[in-house]
């Protein structure tokens, strides 16, 4: 399932490919992260969040398998992939990604947003983490 999604992203968003490193990488090596080689161009940013932020993240979170989730904030055209508490921000239109995953996925996401309310705390958590690491 993820392989197909990354193929869709690779075909449609080649011009948007770039990566930000995890906290352990220096800025001068920002485009040399192992994740960049594996996921490029689907991977846009790889951010570690604190335990407190991970516990806050709920809105728009859809389970894929095990500890993997997609987070689709309402207010941005980006979505996030969470695997084992590591966040990957994926470039692309949310609608295209949801389309590639099917109508059931789209309706599940709409239900999750309706249950958790408007806006996205997960989006603000990720932006705050990026700022704290000096990436934005």
Residues 77-130 have pLDDT tens digits of 666 666 655 656 555 555 666 666 666 666 766 665 555 444 455 555 555 545
Question: What confidence category does residue 9 fall into, taking pLDDT thresholds of 50, 70 and 90?
Answer: low
pLDDT in tens, 38-61: 332 233 333 333 333 333 333 444
Asked if residues 62 and 109 have their Cβ atoms less than 8 Å apart, the reply is yes
Mean pLDDT of 59-74: 54
| Burial classification of residue 97, based on how many CB atoms lie within 10 Å of its CB (0-12 exposed, 13-18 middle, 19 or more buried) | buried
Query: How many folded domains does the chain comprise?
Result: 1
Asked if residues 79 and 70 have their Cβ atoms less than 8 Å apart, the reply is yes
pTM of the full structure: 0.31
Please give the residue range of the domain that contains residue 66: 2-132
């Amino acid at each position: 399932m993820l392989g197909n999604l990354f193929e869709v992203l690779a075909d449609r968003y080649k011009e948007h490919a770039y990566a930000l490193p995890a906290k352990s990488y220096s800025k001068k090596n920002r485009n040399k992260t192992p994740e960049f080689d594996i996921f490029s161009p689907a991977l846009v940013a790889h951010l570690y969040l604190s335990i407190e932020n991970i516990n806050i993240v709920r809105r728009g979170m859809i389970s894929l398998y095990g500890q993997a989730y997609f987070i689709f904030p309402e207010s941005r055209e980006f979505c996030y992939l969470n695997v084992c508490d590591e966040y990957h921000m994926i470039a692309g239109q949310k609608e295209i990604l949801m389309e590639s995953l099917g109508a059931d996925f789209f309706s599940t996401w709409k239900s999750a947003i309706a249950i958790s309310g408007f806006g996205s705390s997960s989006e603000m958590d990720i932006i705050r983490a990026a700022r704290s690491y000096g990436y934005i």
